[in-house]
Structure 1
Amino acid sequence: MDEKLRDRAKKGRGAVANDASARFTALQRSYGDDGWGSADEAVESAPATAVGRDSGRTAISWNKSPDIPFDRSINPYKGCEHGCIYCFARPTHAYLDLSPGLDFETKIFAKENAAELLRKDLAKPSYKPDVITLGANTDPYQPVERRLEITRRVLEVLAEARHPVSIVTKSATVLRDLDILREMADRRLVRVNVSVTTLDRDLARKLEPRAPTPPRRLEAIRGLAAAGVPVGVLAAPMIPALNDSELEKILTAAVEAGADTGGYILLRLPHEIKNLFEGWLETHFPARKEHVLSLVRQSRGGRLYDADWGQRMKGKGHYARLIQQRFRLAARKLNLNADRYDLDCSQFVPPAPDPRQMALF
């Protein structure tokens, strides 16, 4: 089947195709028409979401990356139905022998026993508390969370252990857990960071087809702040010639809603995301494609991605410095990051390995 026919936008999905060149895929896909028009139907239809089980043996993931401000995280889900085309976690699906394209947003794996595993992790005598990031890779409040409530049960364990947590999400579903978050905030044990990529609803629908709308994300910031939960905004990612003109508007809207901290990340295109993003641009913004990619290369040493520590988040070169300067000026004007405080690790109390176990004293 013709590639242009196959790589076509699907309703409610971000990627326009499954990347058949995934690094670890054992089986290569080929597309063809059986003469009944079924190939065309498959292209036009939106693939359904399937949820499987993540059989990992631990809840906490560790990293030693020098440019990431945390060394541990919890990801209740692999894959993400939000379908953000730019998501840097997409390549992780290649390790599952799946495509970082449509598979990533339609084949979700849930760690249903994450809370039980976390309880055991925190109860180990060797465990030393430090801030855990919840949702470092994929959104802990993506649509399936409304039904499975894995993230909520994880928060219950963290609250019981008085363990500090930083949450990253773009979903207003976080407001469901205000009862837990408010209590943790009173003890300086939680901060929530809400990702706002654009204020343009049409652009958001193309970039992040199943994520909450921009007004809903600002509503989440407003609700968290009103409840006394420290909340920040992530203007991320900044995509050259696509949403970069909105940087100051995003920060201003978030501050007006109650955000007191903020940050940004320049578009990252590691591994398979490069091909996926190019296909997305060709589908939705063909006239801007070469300009966008040219600015990306200018910020990545002539390539579409530079994985060097300290460079991958912010980029380098004239364009990257301009974005950095604009952020600094806006943050100073809006008083962002002025009164940020560290979360408190001193209150940690190891939980019982089994919640049914009663304390001796």
Structure 2
Amino acid sequence: MKYQTRKPALILLADGTIFHGKAVGGKEGSSFGEVCFNTGMTGYQEIFTDPSYFGQLMVTTNAHIGNYGVAKDEVESEGIKIAGLICRNFSYHYSRPEADGSLEDFLNENKLLAISDVDTRALVSYIRDNGAMNAVISTEVDNIEGLKKQLSEVPNMNGLELASKVSTKEPYFFGNENATYKISALDIGIKKNILRNLSERDCYIKVYPYNASFEEMQSFNPDGFFLSNGPGDPEPLTEAIETTKKIIETGKPLFGICLGHQILALANGISTYKMHHGHRGINHPILNLITGKGEITSQNHGFAINREEAEAHADIEITHLHLNDQTAAGIRMKNKPVFSVQYHPEASPGPHDASYLFDEFVENIKNSKK
């Protein structure tokens, strides 16, 4: 059996703490990034291919990873975006008839380093207590001092611009060109399921690179604009912030998700900050302050907007709150058809409580066209 010959491996955190495990598959070496955890019980393939996770070492809290294999239509981008995988039990065998192959083969094809047999409960508890930090996973278990030196040179996520690493290089189209509505979308790490949700609502989307100007996006003559999710710190994305300011001035409908939500806040002079350990999972409780209803949501972010500044802003209304820590999870402009949320209404798999937000966006477009 494969597990009898697997190499020892370790996780070294930036503060010197070490957790031990074993390498998955035949890949050896080291991988660096910010360590974070996701509490979802399913959806590992979507997590691994989500551009918002670029540069992060993913700890999965679900005890078994790989047990249902992988499928070609369950990716959120072209290839794996996480920097490495840390799990408790790795399943080399899968049992889902619809699967196209094993997770092991998928990781090997994408040259991803993964380690299992880790006490993930202890590791997650440590991150919750001490915060997200840089780390390295490695099979070089006898080179602790060398790994510490390399780890000290890895840039901190705070202030790190990563959207350019995952954004499209050239504009492209998605959906039916004869659709009723046209959307210009800024790709700062866009997920495929966002595009699917817009397309299903009779929208034809032109997707632009992260640094596209307003003039470029406006040249499509869109009925509305969209700001995508994505990785890293939002503050360095000065071009996206300036483009967003100009979009707002047009009065056309605008919808932002995750990083796009933070960009919208920054465009309105509301600051953002790095969270202690972020929100990542598919069971996060949200209160819709407009309807009074609760929502169970999918989330993946390590930054948030300043709630106090949003509350004090004359043109901004907070529409959603995260019930675990009362962070601002949604905003809208009082005098324009512009809104955003910090979570993922396109969740797949995951709760679909928030999919109505796409309907609201399209409704804003319909009203705007009238």
What's the TM-score bracket when you normalise by the shorter of the two chains?
0.3 to 0.5
Give 1 or 2: higher helix fraction. Answer: 1
TM value normalised by structure 1: 0.39
TM value normalised by structure 2: 0.38
